[in-house]
């Protein structure tokens, strides 16, 4: 039975009620015939109570590891993923109805792409919602367009709405161990080695609230962000310079068969 693995990092101080709402949005998903899901919940650190609030459900697989940030937690969770597709979901966000089905159907309809990503709805503190300010139209997403948007500080997609074929994600080493921008970075890395597509219909609800990581002033340290951007762009450049890409070319397959 084909499986999609949803990976969620959980901070030690996470709000249990928001995590339960994230689960409810996952539990309500209707998947294409024959598909099922698993939820890989990875606690960032060995303390914290939020994960203890989760229901007893065999589809939920909780893990713990030393604190290293969201990127490290996601990659530790990836080690336990059994699905052929991995979908990101933050602990304080929500999936929209049909989000996982659209991810699966897009990847099945376009076997030559390694990833897809969906539009975003920002959930504001007053309860209203608004579409992402830079959401691109439905269709192919090129690395060039993503690089231009990144350079202009107008990145068009939310990295935590990414769905990627598991072999692609593992070949890239999972999420980078960066203190910020790790989800955005992974989108660029995926685009450097594989074609991808935008799903215009929103696939998730991104909460904007005072307790989120990006609301803290120390998150936006200018010098650190300069280094982060360099770390990301230099890795994209390195990936572009390599011969490997997904899907492997006929030549690559022939070389592998001769080994």
The 10s digit of each residue's pLDDT in 188-232 is 999 999 999 999 999 999 986 555 555 456 666 788 989 999 999
Nearest to residue 195, comparing CAs of 86, 117, 100, 83?
Answer: 117
Q: Specify the pLDDT at position 127.
A: 78
* pLDDT higher than threshold 70 for residue 55: yes
Q: Specify the pLDDT at position 250.
A: 47
Q: What is the mean pLDDT of residues 147-166?
A: 95
Split at pLDDT 50, 70, 90, the class of 123 is: confident
| Residues ≥6 apart with Cβ < 8 Å to 120 | 131, 132, 135, 157, 158, 161, 202, 203, 204, 205, 206
Cα distance between residue 224 and residue 145, in whole Å: 24
Q: The CATH number of the domain where 149 resides is what? A: 3.90.550.10
Overall domain count for the chain:
1
Split at pLDDT 50, 70, 90, the class of 124 is: confident
* pLDDT higher than threshold 90 for residue 31: yes
80-97: pLDDT as tens digits:
999 999 999 999 999 999
Print the domain residue range for 153: 3-258
* pLDDT higher than threshold 60 for residue 175: yes
């Amino acid at each position: 039975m084909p499986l999609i693995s949803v990976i969620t990092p959980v901070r030690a101080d996470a709000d249990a009620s928001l995590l339960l709402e994230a689960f409810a949005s996952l539990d309500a998903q209707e998947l294409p015939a024959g598909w099922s899901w698993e939820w890989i919940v990875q606690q960032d650190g060995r303390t914290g109570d939020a994960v203890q609030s989760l229901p007893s459900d065999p589809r939920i697989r909780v893990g713990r590891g030393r604190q290293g940030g969201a990127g490290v937690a996601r990659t530790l969770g990836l080690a336990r993923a059994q699905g052929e597709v991995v979908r990101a979901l933050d602990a304080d966000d929500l999936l929209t109805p049909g989000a996982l089905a659209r991810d699966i159907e897009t990847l099945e309809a376009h076997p030559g792409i390694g990833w897809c990503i969906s539009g975003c709805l920002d959930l504001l503190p007053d309860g209203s919602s608004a579409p992402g300010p830079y959401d691109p139209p439905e269709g192919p997403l090129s690395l060039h367009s993503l690089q231009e948007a990144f350079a202009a500080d107008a990145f068009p997609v939310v990295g935590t709405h990414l769905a990627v074929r598991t072999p692609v994600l593992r070949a890239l080493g999972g999420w980078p161990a960066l203190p910020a921008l790790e989800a955005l970075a992974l989108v660029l890395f995926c685009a450097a080695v594989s074609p991808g597509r935008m799903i215009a219909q929103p696939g998730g609800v991104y909460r904007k609230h005072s307790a989120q990581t990006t609301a803290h002033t120390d998150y936006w340290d200018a010098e650190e962000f300069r280094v982060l951007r360099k770390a990301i762009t230099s890795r994209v450049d390195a990936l572009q310079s390599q011969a490997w890409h997904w899907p492997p070319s006929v030549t690559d397959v022939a070389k592998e068969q001769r080994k």
